[in-house]
Amino acid sequence: MSKSVKVLLVAVILAGLIGCSSEQEIVPFNDKNITMKLINSQSNNEFKLYDIEIENKGNAAIEYISFYLAFPIKHQNGTKSNPFKLEGKTDTNKPIKLQKGEKVVYNIFAPIKEVFGQSDLLDYEHPSIELKGFVRSGDEHIPFGMSGSMEIYLKQ
């Protein structure tokens, strides 16, 4: 092979590699673009039921989303977080992924009497919630989390 053919071959290979770069646009993420809405709530002495809609109003895709609810533990000076959480269920197959404008509804069923009995140690009136997942930024998946009082997140 002549020297000019080798140089031409290397130039064509380099042009192909540079031209085929698959770098994706990085989209900014703001957790205020994820909204939560209480669609349904039922309660009695036996159970509590919540249907909560999560909507992605931002431009960044969110993926591998999980939603949890917990009843804070009553304490002498207020309440403290409860390590035991109820995981929200959906009709959508996992992993849950939301593009801009997409929604998912999580259903949470808490069998109060069956699991906790007549316990006054938990604050059933002020549950806390947690939403965890990943933001897709280019080719990367960056973890995010939102947690706190359900009342605060559902007032948005």
Tens digit of pLDDT for each residue in 91-107?
988 899 999 999 999 99
DSSP structure string for 34-82: EEEEEEEEEE-SS-EEEEEEEEE-SSS-EEEEEEEEEPPEEETTEEE--
Look up the domain containing 104 and give its range: 27-153
**Domain CATH for 115:** 2.60.40.1230
Q: Would you write out the chain's pLDDT as a tens digit for each of its 156 residues? A: 565 555 455 555 655 555 555 555 666 788 889 999 999 999 888 899 999 999 999 999 999 999 999 999 998 888 899 899 999 999 988 899 999 999 999 999 998 888 777 778 899 889 999 999 999 887 888 999 999 999 888 864
Asked whether residue 31 is domain-assigned, the answer is yes
Q: Please tell me the total count of domains within the chain.
A: 1
pTM: 0.78
